[in-house]
Structure 1
Amino acid sequence: MRNATAFTFFHLTGLSHMTQRLRVLLFVITWLCYAAILLVNLVLIVTIILEKKLHEPMYLFLCNLCFNGLYGTVVFFPKFLHDLLSKSHVISYFGCLLQVFVIYSYAASEMAILTVMAYDRYVAISRPLEYHSIMTKCRMVFLMLYSRVTPLLCQAIVVIMSSKLELCGSLIDKVYCENWSLLQLSCNPTTSNNIVGFVIILFYFVHDLFILCSYVQLVKLALRSKEGKKKFLRTCVPHLLCLVNISVALLFDLMYARYGTSSMPRSLRNFMAIQILVVPPLLNPIIYGLKLSKLRNKVLQYFRGKKSFE
């Protein structure tokens, strides 16, 4: 066993290779990207909240998805922008655990929200006449709470277990803190942490299976009628694109955390690390904003300042 030390901060070494000129360029690009994420998500959230005609389960779940994108990025972008212009890339022990908690719960919530949205679309297309009796306000609130509270509880367990680790190092080879890096710094075996992490990953993999099974049924139902096909293309295709979006992002992150090596180019490793915090929060609201005509028209209405949009 190595000598354990009580560390109060960690060194993030993900940007150590970059020249000052590259950091300034990346700062500008990152700032513009974060501004775009804030803009597109806030526009959809405010539009859905203000427009009573959009107070339907599908749009409220979308509002929850946009809020989750803002939640996940708030602990990364400000710190990352600061580090790009700073010579010292350190983060406090508490700040590191906070990043782990928020980023992991954001990713888990993303999958849970998309699962809830898949269930909503399944009910809307397979049982349209019973939709409002099934998707009551109570059930909608329950599903929204499930998609938010369950990931928080799961990641609280992960963070509590990580906080009890005896650490033998303070160098994290990434641009932000993540749980796998903390496990690698542990002086002792982390079997229990790995088992809990595997169970949580398996739990959310089941969410993926549920979405897959529901869409197999939806495709069969959509092909039976022209109206069903239109509804599927209008409301389900955006959901599928968002699902592919987050799934690819999670796959990249998992591959990087488990199999990323120092032989990979540093720029590629950094991209694989941050894309989960950039691509889904930016593209999800754009995909839905472009595909859902009712939502798109309301957004255009507010921007044009018209009282009606026909």
Structure 2
Amino acid sequence: MKNSTQVSYFIFGAYFDIGLFKYLLFVIMMCFYALIICANVLLVVVICVNRSLHEPMYLFLVSLFVNELYGSTGLFPFLLVQILSDIHTVSAPFCFLQIYCLYSYATTQFHNLSIMSYDRYLAICYPLQYNTRMTSNKVAVLIALTWLLSFVGVSVTVSLSSPLQLCGNIIKTVYCDNYAIVKLACSDTRVNNIYGLSYTSLEVFGLLILILYSYMRILKVCFSGSKQTRQKALSTCTPHLASTINFFFGSFFQMLQSRFDMSSVPVMLRNVLSLYFLTCQPLFNPLMYGLQMSKIRILCKSLIFGKI
């Protein structure tokens, strides 16, 4: 058996010397972060200060945008420091803190997208009963559960991983990843694997069934309804459907990166794939919702330019 120990720091093995190009990469990532912060903050402010947008759909969007600010802050400042650094190390406590932030962000994002699909289902399939089915109290409970369940679930994940005895401290990623650390363990990881598989399966299949059921019912109404009904469904569902597909697209890349041997893929491409859903999702969503939803678009112009 290899010697195991409780490591005090981790080394990121996915970074490599890119010379002066690191400064260009730093500027690009800084611009991404600035755009994410500005776009998401703008939309949160627009929705919060305009009473006409205090409807369930827009309140769920606030939860989505706040989560993207949270997830981006858990990634970008640390990533920017690592890009400029010559020694790519991180202390173990900070590494587990980043795991907690990024995993809770991803889980909350999935929850948000699921309850938003349920909200669109009620709005399109039961328009006359929507206000009685989606009350303000129900909205508050759904948003609270979205965040609470995510934080509790990820807390268990991190509490199971942090005490593990490890045989090494080199993780082949550009940020802290729980599965990469579990793979270094010399101690028994059966509990970690069972919980991880059970929790992931419950989350993915349970919420995915909710999303698929919602859209199957929406499509049924669209095909059997009038042209006006189809246009309304298309205008309200397009941003959410695009966001959901983009999220699953990025999550699939991350799953390939962490679960399978990707040594045949160039390191730069692996790094881009692992960062996709953490960088593109928070930038994609505000642009999609801001451009597609006329109410938000008009009020954003009013706030920025001072006129309607």
User: Normalized against structure 1, the TM-score is what?
Assistant: 0.96
How far off its partner does 1:253 sit? 0.3
How far apart in 1 are the matches of 2:134 and 2:77? 38
> Is 1:108 equivalent to 2:115 in the alignment?
no
The 3-state SS of whatever aligns with 1:116 is helix
How far apart in 2 are the matches of 1:35 and 1:214? 34
Match of 1:21 in 2: 20
How far apart in 1 are the matches of 2:8 and 2:163? 14
How far off its partner does 1:210 sit? 1.2
Q: Which amino acid aligns with 2:5?
A: T
How far apart in 1 are the matches of 2:228 and 2:210? 24
Q: In the TM superposition, what whole-angstrom CA distance separates every residue of 1:147-191 from its partner, at most 9, and x where no partner exists? A: 111111110000000012111111111100111111111012312
The 3-state SS of whatever aligns with 1:185 is coil
How far apart in 1 are the matches of 2:44 and 2:261? 36
Give the conservation status (yes or no) of the 8 Å contact 1:121–1:236: yes
Q: In the TM superposition, what whole-angstrom CA distance separates every residue of 1:197-238 from its partner, at most 9, and x where no partner exists? A: 111211222211210111011011022122321221111111
Match of 1:218 in 2: 218
Give the conservation status (yes or no) of the 8 Å contact 2:121–2:218: yes
Match of 2:267 in 1: 266
Q: Which amino acid aligns with 1:10?
A: F
The 3-state SS of whatever aligns with 1:76 is helix
Identity %: 37
Q: Which amino acid aligns with 2:166?
A: L
Match of 1:295 in 2: 296
Match of 1:34 in 2: 33
Give the conservation status (yes or no) of the 8 Å contact 1:260–1:269: no
How far off its partner does 1:20 sit? 2.1
How far apart in 1 are the matches of 2:292 and 2:108? 23
How far off its partner does 1:14 sit? 1.7
Q: How many residues align?
A: 306
How far off its partner does 1:31 sit? 0.6
How far off its partner does 1:42 sit? 0.7
Match of 1:176 in 2: 175
1:121-270 map, 5 Å? 121-205=120-204, 206-223=206-223, 224-270=225-271
Q: In the TM superposition, what whole-angstrom CA distance separates every residue of 1:121-148 from its partner, at most 9, and x where no partner exists? A: 1111111111111111110001101111
Give the conservation status (yes or no) of the 8 Å contact 2:6–2:163: no
How far apart in 1 are the matches of 2:272 and 2:190? 29
Match of 1:286 in 2: 287
Match of 1:64 in 2: 63
CA RMSD of aligned residues (A): 1.1
Q: Which amino acid aligns with 2:243?
A: C
User: Normalized against structure 2, the TM-score is what?
Assistant: 0.97
How far apart in 2 are the matches of 1:47 and 1:139? 23
How far apart in 2 are the matches of 1:282 and 1:260? 29
Q: In the TM superposition, what whole-angstrom CA distance separates every residue of 1:76-112 from its partner, at most 9, and x where no partner exists? A: 1111111111111111111110111111111111110
Provide structure 2 residue ranges, at least 5 long, that are not aligned to the other structure. none
How far off its partner does 1:247 sit? 0.4
How far apart in 2 are the matches of 1:276 and 1:255? 13
1:27-106 map, 5 Å? 27-106=26-105
Provide structure 1 residue ranges, at least 5 long, that are not aligned to the other structure. none
Q: Which amino acid aligns with 2:139?
A: M
Give the conservation status (yes or no) of the 8 Å contact 1:10–1:172: yes
Q: Which amino acid aligns with 1:50?
A: V
Give the conservation status (yes or no) of the 8 Å contact 2:5–2:167: yes
Give the conservation status (yes or no) of the 8 Å contact 1:70–1:281: yes
Following superposition, which runs of at least 4 residues in structure 1 exceed 6 angstroms of deviation?
none
How far apart in 2 are the matches of 1:170 and 1:288? 41
How far off its partner does 1:297 sit? 0.5
